[in-house]
Amino acid sequence: MLYQIAKPFLFKMDPEAAHHLIVDGMGTAARIPGVPSLLSAVWGTKASPELAVDLFGLHFTHPVGLAAGLDKNAKAVTGLSRIGLSFLEVGTVTPKGQSGNEQPRLFRLPPDEALINRMGFNNEGADVMAARLSKLSRHRVPLAVNIGKNKITPNENAADDYRACVQKLFPYGDFFVVNISSPNTPDLRALQHGDDLRNLLNAVKDEMAKQAEKHGELPKPILVKIAPDNTEEQLAYMAEAIQLSGMSGVIATNTTISREGLTHKNAGETGGLSGRPLTARSTEVIRSLYKITNGKLPIIGSGGIFTADDAYDKIRAGASLVEVYTAMIYKGPALLKEIHRGLLTRLKQDGFTRITQAIGADHR
């Protein structure tokens, strides 16, 4: 209700200005004594053992987390961890801060329940994020750090950028996500294929082992975020490379460059499309990856999750966890309670006692 009251005002603002108002505001408010508890009281979800997932050596109270892109600089981790999410991603972060692409670069498509962005990995850099995260106490929910390369770094040197992010942020992430699928950094998606992919993932895995030894800890899980615009053959090659390199899982999917079925005038803007138009395609990719890997490569499903049905469809297709983003812009934090309740209902309807029993159920 609170968000629905504020939404008309926010949607009259420039989308990026509204974005910063929400994220910066939540970051500031969460530092006020009593506010985090208030956020939990208003939007938090009650623990339901039926929905718990244990994955990557981490405990998730339910399957629904926040995708990267909302809190690029880890400014609002405390507040976001109190609104009903079971985990959250920060970033994408690059070794050096960069301003990203020219504005305007974020566009709403309300009739399509979609966003188009060409932000270009705008962020303050890994050192600033590390300093910010170092001031936080223990995470209430698992925290993923989504890492990328700077725009000026050529692909042949991309591994150095990903290594640098792991070096600087190893102590602060519970798991890491290698972003090679944004359409808004030139040639980045080329890193999804062939020797480039294998060499990059091997470098990240090597750096993770070095940092784990340095800090006296076990290596942190590493996932790879892929695009929805891959063919079945490309998905098969990618899955093989990801498995052979020892990655912990995959996030399917990032935004799409497709514009099929859009009605809003902003459909002609360049950039990555997220939201409702991505719902079916991302679920198809999850289904394909689960089948290709015989369910042995954990998948986090992301793309167009607006309802409990959307989330449950991805879980039955093979996702162990799911992420929301665009739907949070259109529906607000109340979305999380709605999905939480809906998943419990759907479990009962299918005769399952735990959400983990539904993972990949469509393949059985």
Active-site residue numbers? 182
Query: C-alpha 104: how far from its chain's center?
Result: 23
CB 91 within 8 A of CB 123: yes
How far apart are alpha carbons 108 and 274 in whole angstroms? Answer: 10
Q: Distance (Å, rounded) from C-alpha 141 to C-alpha 124?
A: 23
Pair type for strands 123-125 and 299-302 = unpaired
Give all strands (DSSP E) within the chain, no chain letters: 53-55, 58-60, 64-66, 88-93, 96-98, 106-109, 114-117, 123-125, 143-147, 175-179, 222-226, 249-252, 272-275, 299-302, 321-324
Residue pair 77/71 in contact (Cβ under 8 Å)? The answer is yes
Chain position carrying tokens 């850099």: 125
Measured CA to CA in angstroms, residue 356 lies from 122, 359, 360 at distances of 36, 5, 9
- Both tokens of 40, joined, read 């939990």
Q: What is the dihedral of CA 306, 308, 309, 311, to 10 degrees?
A: 80
